[in-house]
Amino acid sequence: MSNIGSYEEKYTSFHWKQAEDELQYGKNGMYNIGYYCSDYLCEKGFGNKQALIWEGFTGEVKNFTYDDLRIFSNTIAKFLQDNEVNVGDRVCLFMDKIPELYIGFIGILKMGGIAQPLFSAFGEEALFTRLDDAKTKVIITQKKHLGKVRRIKDKLPGLTKIIVVDADQSSLQTNEIHFWMEKTEQVDNFDIVKADPEMPSVLHYTSGTTGKPKGAQHVHASIIAQYITSKWVLDLRLDDVYWCTADPGWVTGTSYGIIGPWVCGVTQVILDAGFGTEKWYAFIQKNKVTMWYSAPTAIRMLMKEGLDVVKKYDLSSLRHLASVGEPLNAEAVIWSEKAFGRPFYDTYWQTETGAIVITNFPGLKIKPGSMGKPFPGITATVLNPKTFEPITTAGTVGLIALKPGWPSMMRAYWDNKETYDSKFKNGWYVCGDRSSIDDDGYFWFVGRDDDVINTAGHLVGPFEIESALIEHEAVAEAAAIGKPDPVNMEVVKAFIALKPGFEKNDDLELGIINFIRKRLSPLAMPQEVEFVPSLPKTRSGKIMRRLLRAQEWGEEIGDISTLEND
């Protein structure tokens, strides 16, 4: 029997207050996420329970109990306070998937800071843009990433401290401080900031089609939705060993790689190493993983290796599987039933929603290829893109939209009210994706409604790629789109128009790629470059990426009435 029981019964009767009461949210005036992911579990008697089993790429293993989480997060919180970090200051976490990243996240929240996790593979330009926008005060990083930070720190006057978790003080420069989590004097008691439920907690950056990346600001009350979705959708139970493969630089890695599993009191395992089919299967076998939350890209890569390699490992511990980040194709659902004896359950949500909003549940019939149904407490529909009225005809494609008011909904885009307000139409939050709804109420994903590129489940904005390209001396203008890819769903393709005096050739292409390599994350790097005489633009000068995408995907070009005349 699943945690949720009857979906239909829960959907008609559920109210968020039930989740608050179950979580004892607000106990003794405490609403801080950091408390609920550590001290709260210790008070419930789980102090000696394994909270985190971490394995590094060298095979090193570290174990942390819930009491360890409590003490180490206290130690980090006190260290930040001692270094003049105040309530509301932005603290960036820029690390690989090491224990300090996960426990540091909790520590920042305990002392009232706003955690700003960033993907450690970001290049210095992508890092600078996000730190500059957030006016980040402190960054916590590793020696291996320190060079990127040093190259941009002079352009960031608000960045007062750089904390390095694995370096000796003798190797550091001005305003750089070493902090060894496990060697620093431990803090058993810390006065956790009694955050208001609406107090900002996490700032996650998401890419857009134009302008700078947007910082989705979440609040401490988000834990209400993250708790109950972890329990009902991921079906987390106290005896589970849980593995979320997402990096906390992305929202899945915080909502369901830190907050969800720890507030539910489960043991979670982390593998700080890249993808490898046999490496992953061996990790599941070794740790007896019971619940596995991964991405369609990874599932498709496992599919490529076939079923024979699965048989080499004992994966019988797996009880429940779920997928996130991009549409899960029907073939992957069917394959996983053959490979693991159970299907992957597709889940849909966004950085902006903070938690799962449309999903497949244990006990709910799966229609392979479907996103599933709205989570209890979520009112979802598809809207007519012109009138923003709900579409009532089954099978008609519209814009996915949600009624505002769920606990984990972002409260703002950082310092960008205009863009935030534009996400709401006619009383609905518009997700920016297209879907249809069938006669049974299941949602069927169609695609993005903008130019954002979904590569391996990560959203990449064309603006950053194009901005990096046009910094090259030979590039007059550039456009980036998503190109179909059988494994990653989409990869980046760049169209480049050269300045007079430059001729296209392999050496120039290689030079441009090398030029932007330091500025972009690997996910944003173009996998293909096409040189063109000019780019299609509207009469107002806006590049029509839609045209380039349609040609690449073999789609209808549609209305080109605004295309400028050559």
- Candidates 59, 410, 113, 93; CA nearest to 247 is 93
Per-residue pLDDT band for 149 (boundaries 50, 70, 90) equals: very high
Question: Residue 565 has what pLDDT?
Answer: 45
Neighbouring CB atoms inside 10 A of 25's CB total 22
Of 178, 222, 204, the C-alpha closest to 34 is 222
What pLDDT is attached to residue 200? 98
Amino acid letter for position 550:
A
Question: Mean pLDDT across the stretch 95-109?
Answer: 98
pLDDT at 566: 40
Per-residue three-class SS string for 217-259: EEEHHHHHHHHHHHHHCCCCCCCCEEEECCCCCCHHHHHHHHH
CB distance 349 to 410 below 8 Å? no
Cα 107 to the center of its chain, rounded Å? 20
Say whether pLDDT at 563 is over 70: no
Task: Give the tokens for residue 544.
Answer: 């029509």
Distance CA 299, CA 295 (A): 6
Sketch out the chain's domains with CATH numbers: 7-433 (3.40.50.12780), 454-553 (3.30.300.30)
DSSP label of 313: S
- The pLDDT score that the predictor gives to residue 523 is 83
**Token representation of residue 203:** 């700032």
Distance between CA atoms of 86 and 97, rounded to whole angstroms? 26
Integer CA distances (angstroms), 254 to 166, 317, 489, in order: 22, 25, 23
pLDDT of residue 560: 47
The residue-averaged pLDDT of 132-141 equals: 97
Q: What is the pLDDT of residue 557?
A: 58
DSSP for 358-394, please give it: EE--TTSPP-TT--BEEPTT--EEEE-TTT-PBP-ST
Tens digits of per-residue pLDDT, 233-287? 999 999 999 999 999 999 999 999 999 999 999 999 999 998 899 999 999 999 9
Q: What is the per-residue pLDDT for 115? A: 98
In this model, does residue 36 exceed pLDDT 70? Answer: yes
**For residues 43 and 433, is the Cβ–Cβ distance under 8 A?**
no
- Using CA atoms of 70, 73, 79, 85 in order, give the dihedral in degrees to the nearest 10: -120
Q: What pLDDT was estimated at residue 559?
A: 43
DSSP state of 159: -
The mean pLDDT value of the chain amounts to: 91
- Select the highest-mean-pLDDT range: 208-212, 332-336, 353-357: 353-357
Q: 163: closest CA among 143, 139, 184?
A: 139
Q: Which of 514, 456, 459 is nearest to 487 (CA)?
A: 456
> Region 411-427: what's the mean pLDDT?
96
> What three-state secondary structure class fits 299?
helix
Sign for the pseudo-dihedral over CA of 499, 505, 508, 510: positive
Contact 466, 211 (CB under 8 A): no
pLDDT at 561: 35
DSSP 160: -
The confidence score (pLDDT) of residue 562 equals: 38
- Is pLDDT above 60 for 232? yes
Backbone phi and psi for residue 274, each to the nearest 5 degrees, phi listed first: -75, 180
